Structure 1
Amino acid sequence: MQNNRLLSGPLYWILWLGLAAVYGIGLFVPLLDSDASHHALIALHFLESGDYVSLVDRGMDYLDKPHLLFWTAALSYKVFGINTFAFKFPSLLASVFGFYSTYRLGKLLYDELTGRVAALIHGAACAQLLANQDVRMDAMLTAFLIFSTWMLLALARTSKRKYALGGALGLALGFATKGGIGVAVPVLAVGIQLVFERNLRALLRWHWVLVGVSFLVFVAPVLYAYYVQFDLHPEKEIRGMTGLSGIRFILLGQSVERFQGEAWGSSGSTDYFFFFHTLLWAFLPWSLLFYWGWIRGLIDRKGEFLTIGICTLMLVVLSFAQYKLPHYLNILFPYMAILVSGRLTAAGEKTVRTISWVQTGVAVILVAFGLYLNLYIQPIPGRLNQAVAIGIAGVVLFLCFRQAAGLPRILAVSVGSLALVFFSLSANVYPHFAEFDSGYTFARDWNKRPADEPLSQFHSYSYTFDFYTKKLHPPLPEGVLPSTPWVLTDSTGLSLIRKAGIRIDQIQSHPHFHVSVLSGEFLNPATRLLACERRYLLRLGIR
């Protein structure tokens, strides 16, 4: 009865409306001086150069990620201008597409209710929201993985040509976003389900040939771009190597290098439980429910096995990778969401009541963390504003706790608490932290100047400065002193300029901290400035 009310009543769409507000405000939070602004500049190079084939990073050939994110960002720049919204918007569109695909795959594996709840769980996962704040490839890749999984499973069950073309397109989009992982995960997921169903005969249909041929057609633009940039120029040196094939790299080398740690280091290589404990925060507020549903599913193996199988396989594989980063987990979120939803909607009344109390506890912890962030770490300006914020949070939680015990309350307290935390992060915490990104603040001052005088970046490089000034300023080669009137540099660069006897006519300084990697010293307001280095904008006596 409660489940029927969830589908027919307003609660489900009210929760989506709250998430929409969080995702919407996140479109305007400044980019961090990290991978997000780095990717934004590769797209900016397309516009500056008019070359939409070559991937170029700070004046050098870039051989790592494929083209799709950069192409879509460049297109968005043309429509909306070069700004934060334009860079983030394509990833948000992809995420919405991914939520819908999660719903459709959940419905295909279970029923309408499970699909709807799974989509909501996917949308309200902590690292999914982060993927649309600190935009990398993850939001797009996750969406295309779940879309192609839905298409391929539907093809195996119905043999309709539209699913063959849709599956090929999804695989191609995933490949064009992050290489071979975009193909491997959906194929493995569907393969696991077909083995579980003992339906391997479905693989003998001619439609799979159509999938393969269509996939090659759809990925041809990316392969051609790599061929033109790298295969035609074996003399190019990338990471100390020459004679590289771009096509070979993206078909196999990129994923293998990441797994083996080649060229990227061995971050987390010895921590084989890295993703298991990272999941505790990355999939909040659903992480405990995932572990519950995952273990139960491995024990009883009832219903579908696609989500359990692909989550198990990928968690094991990723755990043995030599290079580990938290956002590698994002690709599993839609599968985890369907797994959790399937278990929730089928659980008995006693189990659901227990889960309600567990999720209420998680919600209380999340809200307490949000208050700590906004009242101590980065206080909301003004006592009245703080009181209003606390009042709004209290009203939202009161309405959530008023829901009938069971699935409605589980969803309300979980989604409501996470939405409150992330809304406050986007409206208060992140914008204030952005003030400690010197590139962002210097760019704001630089844009007020009447003329765009020559500037170079010396001994340090700020992605955000180039992005927010809407112009690329490649860093000077090592050992080359600046010869432009304006220079952006750090303390070491300032010392080298002074030692070289170059006259400094004007100097501006600003504290700088890499906000993408927070520390306890920075989070503490009393020691925040001590955690920062200094960056300088210099006007030299050079004409």
Structure 2
Amino acid sequence: MLKKNVVLLVIGLCIITYLLGIFLIPLMDIDAAQYASISREMYVHKSFLQVYDLGHDYLDKPPMLFWLSGFSMYVLGVHDWAYRLPSFFFSLLAIYATYRFALLYYKKDIAYLSAMVLASCQALFLMNHDVRTDTMLMGWVMLSIWQFATWFNTKKIIHFVIASIAVAGGMLTKGPIALIVPILCFLPHFILRRDWKHFWHWEYVLGIAIIAILLLPMSIGLYRQFDMHPGKIVGGNYITSGLKFYYWTQSFGRYTGENANREMNEFTFLLQNMLWSFLPWILFFLIALFLEVKKLIQQKGKLQLNQEWITTGGFILTYCVLARSQAQLPHYIFVVFPLAAIITAKFLYQLFFEHQWRHLRRTLVLLHLIVFTLLWMALIVLIAFPFSDIPKYVAALSSLCLLLMYSLFYSKRLHFHRLLIIAFFTIIGINVFLNTAFYPTLLQYQMGNTAAEYINAQHIDKSKVVTAGIHPGYPFYFYGQYIFPDTAINALQPNEIVVTNADSLERIQQKFPYAKVLHKGDNFHVSQLNITFLNPETRPEVLQHYAIVDLTIPNKKITKN
């Protein structure tokens, strides 16, 4: 039996690890830094219904993330951690809603395990510092699924109202997918239980009304910004209607071909990325998913009264819908990770608490010991070799953690299963090192935050700063807390301070002989890590360099004849 204090300890350690990333890691270009910049711009200019990106019309994502992060900056100040905090609370909501939903259908131990699995999967550690819309979406969607399930079981209208509000919140975060996922969850559940009465309730009309009313402010903003001014070009797309783009093109256009994006459209792409994003539970999940489908086939496609197919059916159908899209990114599947966590938790309980599949358990224990050893060794290499700025004692500590993992594995004093212990220990421990040592050092090679840091530290007049011949990245605008204009090198004017590519220095100095180089720094797209960059000997091959140059005309001394 799982003790509550063990559950709280594991989830508490996960939360502490999230917070380390939230407060210690600079924003990573592109998405997280872009959304932070938009949130700051919205807060500064008080433009809450019409969204702008560096002064230009923005239409890619709904405004919920920008609203909440902008409000957080209003209360706490313009900081990267203030941008991340609202999403952090939604990750906690997702964990809690997962626990409460699982409690509706399973033993408390399985509900506990569900929360622990979700809290400790690699995606949650990543989502809390590389914040995009998916963290909030996960919280809203899991809240809606939990509340809908509670309403179906109790018929208390308050749960239906909360679920409808959650759907609207999710749609304000990332669009119609927040409505589609709950439908895909309950549809197979009702069909397999032959529960036809749930296909119609008068409350559904109420739910549609609640959602429509809550979407109204955003819809008004879209209409005023785009539909009243048709023909705007946003992201290279000709926009005739902002409402159509949001409610149709951005989501359903990925299937009809109306959406121009063509990113990673293989059916197995999301599954391939789950191999890392759902660590350390991915093998357990795949086995559990297979067993769930096998069991349904054995039951000839009909559920018993004590069974639910909300989680398994919801995951499978959502995966199929997302995988058929012409544009996919790894984080798209994160929305159903709570469902994957519950599927996994059921299997873990049967494996380690009910002692089923003993021969399979021995194989899984050995296989995961090897996998966790390789993960620790990879971490040690990342800490010890690529960056000389990371103190050597950090690599020594990570090596000790590898030895401690083996000590925990072979200890006979622990009352919790040894494989679960080393799984939690490994994933939490590795992310502590990543969040405190590796990522903060890596982000020093991202010019946006380092260039803005120099400008802020030197108290440079930002009204004089321009960029030329280089795109400094969104962290430059967020940390600089200013929309720096861009110009051509040939159009530079005296008395400006230019941020530019170091290769352009010669041209600038020919035009402005008195130009003074204030600062030079390195630049690398850190989201595109590769072996060449991580190897200190080959790193210069892929590093770019930037410079901050003062074009101020020096004062000439007047001499008397």
Task: Mark the runs of 5 or more structure 2 residues left unpaired by the alignment.
Answer: 297-302, 555-561
Alignment of 1:260-339 (within 5 A): 265-269=261-265, 271-301=266-296, 303-339=307-343
Displacement of 1:239 in angstroms is 4.0
Q: Report the AA paired with residue 222 of structure 2.
A: Y
1:188 paired residue among 184, 187, 202:
184
After alignment, is 425-434 or 379-388 more displaced? 379-388
Compared with structure 1, are the counterparts of its residues 450 and 318 closer, same or farther at alpha carbon in structure 2 (3 Å cutoff)? Answer: closer
- Structure 2 residue 424 is the aligned partner of structure 1 residue 415: yes
Q: Is 2:467 the partner of 1:457?
A: yes
- How far apart are 1:256 and its partner, in Å? 2.6
Is 1:102 matched with 2:95?
A: no
Measured in 1, the distance between the counterparts of 2:244 and 2:232 equals 15
Larger radius of gyration: 2
Pair 1:442 & 2:451 matched: yes
1:190 and 1:529 mapped to 2: Cα distance?
54
In structure 2, what residue type is equivalent to 1:286?
W
2:497, 2:552 within 8 Å by CA — same for their partners in 1?
Answer: no
Deviation at 1:124, TM superposition (A): 0.9
Shift of 1:7: 2.8
Candidates 242, 248, 252, aligned match of 2:244: 248
In 1, the alpha carbon distance for the partners of 2:411 and 2:466 equals 58
Unaligned runs of 5+ in 1: none
CA gap of 1:380–1:443, structure 2 versus 1, over 3 A, is closer
What is the match of residue 369 of structure 1? 378
Q: Hey, what does 1:535 align to over in structure 2?
A: 546
Shift of 1:261: 6.6
Q: Is the 8 A contact 1:117 1:341 kept in 2?
A: yes
| 1:538 alignment partner, SS class | strand
Write the distance in 2 (CA, Å) between the matches of 1:405 and 1:21. 23
Taking a change above 3 Å as real, the CA distance of residues 386 and 344 of structure 1, as seen in their structure-2 partners, is: closer
Residue 525 of structure 2: SS of its match in structure 1?
coil
The structural deviation recorded for 1:403 is 6.9
Q: Distance in 1 between the 2:456 and 2:254 partners?
A: 39
User: Which one of 83, 88, 91 corresponds to residue 84 of structure 2?
Assistant: 88
> Relative to 1, partners in 2 of residues 1:349 and 1:466: Cα closer, same or farther, differing over 3 Å?
same
Worse-matched range after superposition: 90-99 or 159-168:
159-168
Alignment counterpart, residue 213 of structure 2, candidates 205, 211, 217: 217
Correspondence 1:164-179 to 2 at 5 A: 164-179=160-175
Deviation at 1:379, TM superposition (A): 6.0
- Cα deviation per residue 1:426-453 (whole Å; 9 max; x = unaligned)? 1100111111012211111111223524
Change (3 A) 1:403 1:132: farther
Percent identity over the alignment is 27
The answer (yes or no) to whether the contact 2:185–2:310 under 8 Å persists in 1 is yes
Tell me if structure 1 keeps the 8 A contact 2:390–2:441: no
CA positional deviation for 1:37: 0.6
1:514 counterpart = 2:525: yes
Alpha-carbon shift at residue 392 of structure 1 (Å): 4.9
CA positional deviation for 1:294: 0.9
How far apart, CA to CA, are the structure 2 residues paired with 1:256 and 1:76? 32
Q: Using a 3 Å threshold, how does the CA distance of structure 1 residues 364 and 12 change in structure 2: closer, same or farther?
A: farther
How far is the alpha carbon of 1:494 from its aligned partner?
4.5
Q: 2:52 matched to 1:56?
A: yes
Instruction: Tell me if structure 2 keeps the 8 A contact 1:456–1:482.
Output: no
Pair 1:431 & 2:440 matched: yes
8 Å contact from structure 1 (residues 522, 528) kept in 2: yes
Alignment-derived partner of residue 407 in structure 2: 398
Aligned partner (choices 61, 80, 104) of residue 65 of structure 1: 61
- Structure 1: how far apart are the matches of 2:88 and 2:410? 30
Mapped to 2, the partners of 1:494 and 1:183 lie a distance apart of 53
Deviation at 1:388, TM superposition (A): 3.8
Q: CA deviation at 1:242?
A: 4.8
Structure 1 position 372, deviation (Å): 2.1
Indicate the larger mover: 112-121 or 310-319: 310-319
Deviations 1:6-48 (A, max 9, x none): 135x332221222122111011211112111111111111123
Task: Describe the shift of the 1:214–1:396 C-alpha distance in structure 2 as closer, same or farther (beyond 3 A).
Answer: same
Cα distance change of structure 1 residues 403 and 277 upon mapping to structure 2, 3 Å threshold? farther
Moved more, 475-484 or 523-532: 475-484
Residue in 2 that maps onto 1:154: 150
Q: Distance in 2 between matches of 1:365 and 1:389?
A: 13
Q: TM-score, normalised by structure 1?
A: 0.92
Aligned residue for 1:536, secondary structure, equals strand
Q: TM-score, normalised by structure 2?
A: 0.89
Task: Identify if the C-alpha distance between structure 1 residues 268 and 240 changes in structure 2 by more than 3 Å, giving closer, same or farther.
Answer: closer
Would you say how many aligned residue pairs link Structure 1 and Structure 2?
537
1:11-26 alignment runs, 5 A limit: 11-26=6-21
Would the aligned equivalents of 2:239 and 2:245 in 1 still touch at CA under 8 Å? no
Q: CA deviation at 1:402?
A: 3.4
Query: Structure 1 residues 410, 169: CA separation in 2 closer, same or farther (over 3 Å shift)?
Result: farther
Q: What is the DSSP-based 3-state SS (H/G/I as helix, E as strand, rest coil) of the residue aligned with 2:466?
A: strand
CA–CA distance in structure 2, aligned partners of residues 88 and 435 of structure 1: 20
> Greater CA deviation, 272-281 or 513-522?
272-281
Mapping 1:369-388, distance limit 5 Å: 369-378=378-387, 381-388=390-397
For residues 528 and 49 of structure 1, do their structure 2 counterparts lie closer, same or farther at Cα, with a shift above 3 Å needed? Answer: same
Conserved 8 A contact 2:262-2:327: yes
Select between 65-74 and 476-485 the one with higher mean Cα deviation.
Answer: 476-485
The corresponding residue for 1:504 is 515
